[in-house]
Structure 1
Amino acid sequence: MQTSGNTMLITGGTSGIGLGFALEFLKRGNTVIICGRREDRLEAIRKENPEIVTRVCDVADASQRENLCRWIMLEYPRTNVLINNAGIQLATRLTDPVPLDRVRSEVEINFIAPVHLSSMLSHQLASQPQAAIINITSGLAFAPLAHMPVYCATKAALHSLTLSMRYQFRHTPVQVFEIIPPSVDTELGHDMREDKSQSHGGMPIKDFLRDAMTALENDMLEAPVGPSVNLRAKREEMFPIMNR
């Protein structure tokens, strides 16, 4: 994949992996568009990095996704990269009746949004000489943490979707990548922490970005990063270790 000269949309671009990718691709000479729910975060990023284009969009809302894609195709018709990064991670106790609003939220953001956005932008991407869809899954797609079953299931679904997507786009200029992060030092999963601003540790974001960018540069279409290599290769062995 070419890592410069692109016009790219990154969902969930206001923090963590999404913001990390945005800043890294900006340094490499790309036009970077990020979207997120919170205008205050977008405004702060704009002030610090005025070259980044921002757009308020809650990807949990189908109508907002549709408006985002119409805006992209009208205002940035050279868009050739979509990074499906937005995600939420919630604990779910399946031994009690589940709160369906939380389950639906995880499924909508983590799985339905990438399906919807990729399909709506498919003709736009395929019309470019070089293009890419980059789906951010998780090592937990392969060896799940049992206390967050819905999150892990959505990432497993996104992994499966990526395989089908890659096959369907095989006769187009669109490369379909899957980046498989381990636990990365971001605020993902803050639902399970008392201090919502606290990160959960894990692989430093700069180390994750270094390895992820190397995978993209080398056209590694399915790229586990760091500890995700073991989660993918030794899933049966890793599951009981992770869930002791």
Structure 2
Amino acid sequence: MQMTGNTILITGGTSGIGRALAEAFHDRGNRVIITGRRLSLLDEITTQRPGLVGMPLDLDDPNSLAQLASDVRTRFPDLNMLFANAGISKAEDMTSESWDASAARTVIDTNIVGVLRTTAAFLPLLKTRPNATIMATSSNLAFIPRADFPTYCASKAFLHSWLQSLRHQLRNIPVEVLELSPPYVQTELTGAHQASDPRAVPVSAYVAEVMHLLETGNHPRGEVLVERDRSRRSAEREGRYEEVFAAINPS
């Protein structure tokens, strides 16, 4: 993966990890396009950082992705990198009498169907470009779930498996497929409290380590794992799965 001279589209690029990655790649001389639902926020971000491009995308609107893909092909035909980063997380209490599948459906629509639709929209263009990359944001909870976020964790496990298949199918096409699997990071994914939780990794520190891994090509099997993720990734293989599961899901 080359780190400069790219045209990069980052979905979910208006906050958290997506925004920090957008700024880091922009600092390295790339043309970076971020998407989001709120035009006012896109305008605010691009005003603060001249050269960054904001384009609207609402995955709940069936026409929005098609419009974005058309606009990108027209304005940025040299697009060679897609970071499918948009995602949501919702806690679910399946012991509750009021529990139903509505929260799960919302998570699946965004975290799974949204990534698949976004990839399908831009893959034909990416396959024509040199040095093309697709990266999707999974989670280290894909490997061992946190049980109070069951569908979120399962959605990331789906992406982990699906990206392996995509990588294999594209093995003879020059499109690199990467999986970004963050730990617990100071974003607002689960609410405002997470952004200031001292147990979470600061966004800047996480993205700095990710950029170093990308620069050095240190992502075996296409998995971009920072150091603190690797123990959880290997827990099942090393016979520590039950121990780690119990630690993150206390009785």
Query: Normalising by the residue count of structure 2, what TM-score does the alignment of the two structures yield?
Result: 0.90
Q: Can you list the C-alpha shifts for 1:216-240, whole angstroms capped at 9, x where unaligned?
A: 2233221222422122111513111
Q: Can you list the C-alpha shifts for 1:78-136, whole angstroms capped at 9, x where unaligned?
A: 00000011111100112235343322221111111111111221110010011000111
Question: Identical aligned pairs, as a percentage?
Answer: 37
Higher mean displacement: 34-43 or 215-224: 215-224
Q: How does 1:197-236 map to 2 (within 5 A)?
A: 198-201=195-198, 202-219=200-217, 220=219, 221-235=222-236, 236=241
Q: Aligned letter for 1:127? A: T
Query: Normalising by the residue count of structure 1, what TM-score does the alignment of the two structures yield?
Result: 0.93
Q: Aligned letter for 1:107? A: I
Pairwise CA distance, 1:159: 0.6
RMSD of Structure 2 on Structure 1 (CA): 1.6
1:83 paired residue number: 83
2:94 is equivalent to residue 94 of structure 1: yes
Distance in structure 2 (CA, Å) of the matches to 1:216 and 1:99 = 40
Number of aligned pairs?
A: 240
Distance in structure 2 (CA, Å) of the matches to 1:153 and 1:200 = 24
1:188 and 1:199 in contact (8 A); partners too: no
Task: Could you tell me which runs of 5 or more consecutive residues in structure 1 were left unpaired when the two chains were aligned.
Answer: none
Distance in structure 2 (CA, Å) of the matches to 1:89 and 1:82 = 22
2:127 paired residue number: 126
Q: How does 1:55-94 map to 2 (within 5 A)?
A: 55-94=55-94
Q: Aligned letter for 2:246? A: P
Q: How does 1:1-244 map to 2 (within 5 A)?
A: 1-96=1-96, 97-190=98-191, 198-201=195-198, 202-219=200-217, 220=219, 221-235=222-236, 236=241, 237-244=243-250
Q: Aligned letter for 1:243? A: N
Q: Aligned letter for 1:206? A: S
Pair 1:182–1:197, CA change in 2 (3 A): closer
Pair 1:170–1:42, CA change in 2 (3 A): same
2:186 and 2:194 in contact (8 A); partners too: no
Distance in structure 2 (CA, Å) of the matches to 1:66 and 1:171 = 27
Distance in structure 2 (CA, Å) of the matches to 1:197 and 1:54 = 26
Task: Could you tell me which runs of 5 or more consecutive residues in structure 2 were left unpaired when the two chains were aligned.
Answer: none
